């Protein structure tokens, strides 16, 4: 079996975080519903990922798959493939748990579903606070963060961070908190480089983790009139041939050379291996400059149904959308029957 060797970056608490992880979000279908059909494929791909050397696993309460993720982790520990302390497990607290005391409720529920004693990193999934009924609770994320500081102090988690925070929100959080976030997980890809945000995070020792690192390269995310590059982009294909790598490998390597961690998702074993096979080459300066020219600020993930809620972090658009029920109420696991 092929093996991969994934290097690590340092968090601001001195702990290591692998520079590439396995993302477990399976997404919603075209009816904005969660379809558990691919959960068994995810379980197989995650098992394979750990077997070949992945040590960073990214999940969330929203993803519904914490029970299965925990089963894989515990099985691999029992098999002797990996020790718990060698793994870096991240999960996230959803909108419904933004009151200070509710953060611990959410974290303990995640620990129960994952069947773990602690988490390596817990993130505030979004800065907004929205009830299961879709009501704007207008809870200040500074209050929520106090709940995060509490679970850190209690040893339930080893590090705390945020997700989908913009620069202004991060600055306010840093200025008014005891603990600086260890990480900010945001969309970053070749179209959305987020230079200002990345520069701020790196200047303040906040590790940046990129979700949707392929943007609209992925066919399922390829919207009408979405910009280049696509998987067959001639410029990237040429760069890939130069190094004997695929376009997606070039993309992940480019982000890594920016000091950014990526958490690509796939349920295909071959892509699990391909995604992690990026640490045996380096893009030269000319190729880095060429790739940087694709950055045009195009955002792939636009949850405009939240844009009128307090603390929405992105630019607003002239649309009115209902929040999908799947983002308000759910149960967990492949059978969708676990609280």
Which of 212, 220, 176, 174 lies closest to 194 in space, CA to CA?
212
125 in a known ligand binding site: yes
HEC sequence for 195-256? HHHHHHHHHCCCEEEEECCCHHHCHHHCCCCCCCCCCCCHHHHHHHHHHCCCHHHHHHHHHH
Helix (H) or strand (E) segment spanning residue 123 = strand 121-124
Helix (H) or strand (E) segment spanning residue 275 = helix 269-276
Residue located via tokens 């609209």: 216
Please tell me whether residue 306 adopts helix, strand or coil conformation.
Answer: helix
Rounded-to-5 percentages of helix, strand, coil across the chain: 40, 15, 45
CA dist., res. 202 & res. 208, Å (int): 8
Q: Please, which residues bridge with residue 202 across strands? A: none
Q: Residues 136, 127: contact at Cβ < 8 Å?
A: no
Catalytic machinery residues: 63
- Binding-site residue set for substrate: 125
- Binding-site residue set: 125
């Amino acid at each position: 079996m092929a093996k991969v060797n994934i290097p690590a970056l340092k968090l601001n608490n001195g702990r290591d975080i692998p520079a590439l992880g396995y993302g477990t979000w399976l997404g919603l279908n075209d009816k904005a519903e969660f379809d558990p059909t691919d959960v068994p494929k995810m379980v197989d791909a995650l098992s394979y990922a750990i077997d070949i050397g992945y040590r960073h696993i990214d999940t969330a309460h929203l993803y519904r798959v914490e029970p299965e993720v925990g089963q894989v982790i515990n099985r691999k520990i029992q098999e002797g493939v990996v020790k718990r302390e060698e793994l870096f497990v991240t999960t996230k607290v959803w909108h419904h748990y933004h009151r200070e005391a509710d953060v611990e409720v959410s974290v303990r529920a995640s620990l129960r579903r994952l069947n773990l004693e602690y988490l390596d990193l817990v993130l505030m999934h979004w800065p907004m606070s929205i009830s299961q009924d879709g009501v704007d609770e207008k809870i200040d994320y500074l209050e929520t963060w106090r709940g995060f500081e509490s679970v850190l102090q209690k040893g339930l988690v080893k590090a705390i961070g945020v997700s989908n925070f913009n620069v202004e929100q991060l600055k306010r959080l840093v200025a008014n908190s005891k603990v600086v976030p260890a990480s900010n997980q945001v969309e970053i890809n070749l179209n959305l480089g987020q230079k200002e945000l990345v520069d701020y995070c790196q200047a303040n020792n906040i590790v940046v983790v990129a979700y949707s690192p392929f943007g609209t390269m992925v066919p399922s995310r390829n919207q009408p009139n979405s910009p280049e590059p696509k998987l067959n982009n001639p410029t990237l294909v040429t760069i890939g041939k130069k190094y004997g790598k695929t376009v997606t490998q070039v993309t992940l390597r480019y982000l890594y050379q920016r000091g950014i961690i990526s958490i690509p998702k796939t349920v295909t074993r071959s892509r699990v291996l391909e995604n992690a096979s990026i640490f045996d080459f380096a893009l030269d300066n000319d190729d880095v400059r060429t790739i940087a020219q694709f950055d045009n600020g195009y955002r792939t993930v636009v949850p405009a149904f939240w844009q009128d809620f307090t603390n929405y972090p992105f630019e607003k658009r002239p649309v009115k959308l209902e929040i999908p029920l799947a983002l308000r109420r759910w149960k967990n696991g492949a059978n969708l029957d676990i609280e």
